[in-house]
Amino acid sequence: MIAAENNSGKSIAMQSILYALGMEAMLGPRHDVPLPDAMTKEIAAEGLTEAVERSEVWLEFEGVDRKPVTVTRWAKHPTIKRRLITAWAGAVLTGDAEPERRDFQVRGQGAFDEVIGFHRFLADLVGWEVPLVQTTKAVERPLYLEYLFSLLFVEQRGGWSGVQALQPNFFVAEARERSAEFLLGIDTYQRQREERQLKSQLSAIGNSWMTVATQLVAAAESRGYRVSGVPSKLDSGITEGHSVQLLSAKDRETLGAEVKDLAERVRVAEARLTAPQPPQRDTEHEEGTLVEEAATVAVLDAATRSLERDVELEAETQRSLGRTLGALRADLRRNADALRVHELGAPEWSSPEQECPTCHQNVTDVILPAGDKPGMSLKDNVAYLNAQIDALSLLEAEAAEAQRHRLLSLDQHRRQLVDARARLRAAKATVLTPEQVPSAAEIQRALIDSQRLRELHELDSTVSSLMRHLVELASEARGIEAALEALPATLASAEEKSKVRELGELVREQLAEYGFTSYEPAEVDVALPLLRPERDGTPVGYGISASDGVRLIWAHLLGFAELARTHSTRHPGIVMFDEPRQQSAKPTSLAAFLERAARAAAFDQQVLVATSEPEESLARQLDGVEHYLVGFAGQLLKPLR
């Protein structure tokens, strides 16, 4: 306890702790030095007033390993910036040795820099692995220590206006909840974050899958083949050896069969054409071939034109279907608007059954009835239109798929026609060529077959490569699905729920001891996700007396510290209150608070209190309470002697 009269410098001592640790951002957006003019402008002592040239703050503390650390930071200096904090690995204030020193920086994102960030250093000392959290600007940032300090330090001026009243403006979303979860050792947010990240990775894999599957289908279709066995959407069950079939659109022949057939034809043709003696020509056969090729061209030409007409007809049908769907959707929007207008206030003129205001006959909401049958109600009309749209959309999708196959077939026919015309030209040339020369038709056929064989080998290679990629994606997806499956079914574990329940009990117990009277302490609870005192699901704050608001802050912060005695949490074991007797809280309440706070010593925890309670009153309140009192008369800041 630091006890002294008002304006003697107790708050300077308390806020120096904040300043030495670089926590001034929790006090306001301007991040001003939280120290009075006596530390930064001018100081009055022993009747003299002097300008402040330099002032600094020194703080000695222990980390989680119980080793002392000393830090110093300038509050005012002509050249050294406020961002600098110097740390010694030892007790410089109370010890003799000159331990190793390091310089760090504080304020802004630099505070968490891996090498020179002071808050990174401080977090390591306290044993905190600070998590990344979402900001309101949709990026992740560390859970800055200033947020955590709102549960460890209550500053005199603004800190008593509510639970976790002082918050820095670093745009962390739901900062109070994240800080409370972290100190209590509740990792629901991190589990949610992990789940979000895993789902995001799975979604990215799904998108990659669709891209690769589309490429595979496009590669096959460009060579006149249809693919079966490749799911268009991610299927994590696909493994090495998954069977994929490529069938030619026209003949339903497999790729393997066509490759085998072509390879044999090419082999035979090459053998014939490269033989030392020119092959014997059969002119009768060649003339027969000419007639056959001409007939083939004619048949293919007719089939191609017929297909082209079918494709055009189907395209027109699809355009008409599109127009019908467009009209149905427009009518659906209008029906929805009419329904909304009716719901605005059910005006008479929008009702299905109305009375004509002039002749008082019954009329309906249909302006121009078509026939004798009555019209549907608006809601039935909407349902009818939705059903029509669903049915026609299905037809549209099926028609599009059928058209795609038709186009594929047309493409193949056109290629076959091109090949057939080439063979016909070659057959004509062959008939006109002298007998000693190999026939042009045979050479042409060999060239075409050879080219086709190369294309199909490339296709086979492309399909294999893309399938390997899909198998890899499926394997990655399986890993992520297993990780998702391993996540706990509920966000909070049984232990975490137990912590929250006990925190609520500790808060209620203290409120009763401190004389909370705005309503029954039993009505106050602490629950996820807020982790702040609440009543009937609403945070406690408004509607209670100002002194009860102060009691609530005592109970909440001490509750966190007390919970650490029986559960594993991340609480550092220190809480600091600057002038806890706010709003004229009763002396008996303060006595109960001090008695409760004093129990910290038995658990190797520390509660710092700065108070201006009169000496006599304080002595009564501390009677029988274990404490360490530092009192001083006059001003804390004095000239050195």
Partner 1 sequence: MAEEQGTPFAPDRVPVPAALRTGWRIPLLVILVSRCRAGEASWAQLHVLSWALTAGISEAEFQDRLGSGFDPWDEEAIRIDPVVLLSVDRAVGAGLLVRTRSGVSLTSDGEALVDRLKTAGVFRDELQLLNSLGRKILKTDASTALGVSE
| Contact positions vs partner 1 (CB under 8 A) | 326-327, 330-331, 333-335, 337-342, 344-345, 347-350, 354, 356-358, 365-368, 370-378, 380-381, 384-385
**Cα of 77 vs its chain's centroid, Å:** 44
Report the C-alpha gap between 286 and 428 in whole angstroms.
Answer: 9
The nearer residue to partner 1, 139 or 368, going by C-beta atoms, is 368
Cβ-Cβ contacts under 8 Å for 585 (sequence gap 6 or more) = 547, 550, 551
Mapped onto helix, strand or coil, the DSSP state of residue 87 is strand
Strand order in the sheet with 533-535: 525-526, 533-535, 538-539
CB of residue 317 vs partner 1: minimum separation in angstroms?
A: 21
Q: Which residues pair with 539 in a beta bridge?
A: 534
2-3 and 630-631: which strand pairing? Answer: parallel
The nearer residue to partner 1, 282 or 343, going by C-beta atoms, is 343
Identify whether the C-beta of residue 446 lies closer than 8 Å to the C-beta of residue 269. Answer: yes
String of b and e for 607-638 (b: at least 16 CB within 10 Å)? bbbbbbbeeeebeebbeeeeeeeeeeeebebe
CB of residue 396 vs partner 1: minimum separation in angstroms?
A: 19
Helix 494-514 vs helix 546-566: angle between axes, to the nearest 10 degrees?
A: 140
CB of residue 400 vs partner 1: minimum separation in angstroms?
A: 23
CB of residue 320 vs partner 1: minimum separation in angstroms?
A: 16
Nearest to 75 by CA among 20, 14, 116, 153: 20
Report the C-alpha gap between 548 and 163 in whole angstroms.
Answer: 12
CB of residue 321 vs partner 1: minimum separation in angstroms?
A: 17
Cβ-Cβ contacts under 8 Å for 47 (sequence gap 6 or more) = none
The nearer residue to partner 1, 48 or 367, going by C-beta atoms, is 367
CB of residue 349 vs partner 1: minimum separation in angstroms?
A: 4
Q: Cα Rg for the chain, rounded, in angstroms?
A: 42
The nearer residue to partner 1, 386 or 568, going by C-beta atoms, is 386
CB of residue 399 vs partner 1: minimum separation in angstroms?
A: 23
Nearest to 512 by CA among 499, 498, 503, 524: 524
The nearer residue to partner 1, 359 or 489, going by C-beta atoms, is 359
Tokens of 197: 């990240």
The nearer residue to partner 1, 93 or 330, going by C-beta atoms, is 330
H or E element in which residue 101 lies: strand 101-105
**Cα of 450 vs its chain's centroid, Å:** 53
**Cα of 133 vs its chain's centroid, Å:** 10
The nearer residue to partner 1, 384 or 632, going by C-beta atoms, is 384
The nearer residue to partner 1, 359 or 494, going by C-beta atoms, is 359
CB of residue 383 vs partner 1: minimum separation in angstroms?
A: 10
The nearer residue to partner 1, 129 or 372, going by C-beta atoms, is 372
CB of residue 397 vs partner 1: minimum separation in angstroms?
A: 23
CB of residue 328 vs partner 1: minimum separation in angstroms?
A: 10
The nearer residue to partner 1, 381 or 518, going by C-beta atoms, is 381
CB of residue 365 vs partner 1: minimum separation in angstroms?
A: 5
CB of residue 313 vs partner 1: minimum separation in angstroms?
A: 24
The nearer residue to partner 1, 371 or 639, going by C-beta atoms, is 371
Tokens of 116: 């020179």
Identify whether the C-beta of residue 352 lies closer than 8 Å to the C-beta of residue 369. Answer: no
The nearer residue to partner 1, 47 or 371, going by C-beta atoms, is 371
The nearer residue to partner 1, 250 or 334, going by C-beta atoms, is 334
**How large is the greatest C-alpha to C-alpha distance in the chain, in angstroms?**
134
Identify whether the C-beta of residue 99 lies closer than 8 Å to the C-beta of residue 63. Answer: no
Identify whether the C-beta of residue 262 lies closer than 8 Å to the C-beta of residue 268. Answer: no
| Dihedral class, residue 422 (left if φ above 0, else alpha if ψ from -120 to 50, else beta) | alpha
The nearer residue to partner 1, 254 or 393, going by C-beta atoms, is 393
* Integer angstrom CA distances of residue 496 from 486, 491, 528: 18, 10, 10
132-134 and 101-105: which strand pairing? Answer: unpaired
Instruction: Output phi, psi for 568, to 5 deg.
Output: -80, 115
Mapped onto helix, strand or coil, the DSSP state of residue 86 is strand
Question: What DSSP assignment string belongs to 313-336?
Answer: HHHHHHHHHHHHHHHHHHHHHHHH
H or E element in which residue 133 lies: strand 132-134
Identify whether the C-beta of residue 143 lies closer than 8 Å to the C-beta of residue 178. Answer: yes
Mapped onto helix, strand or coil, the DSSP state of residue 480 is helix
CB of residue 412 vs partner 1: minimum separation in angstroms?
A: 40
CB of residue 384 vs partner 1: minimum separation in angstroms?
A: 5
CB of residue 391 vs partner 1: minimum separation in angstroms?
A: 14
The nearer residue to partner 1, 386 or 490, going by C-beta atoms, is 386
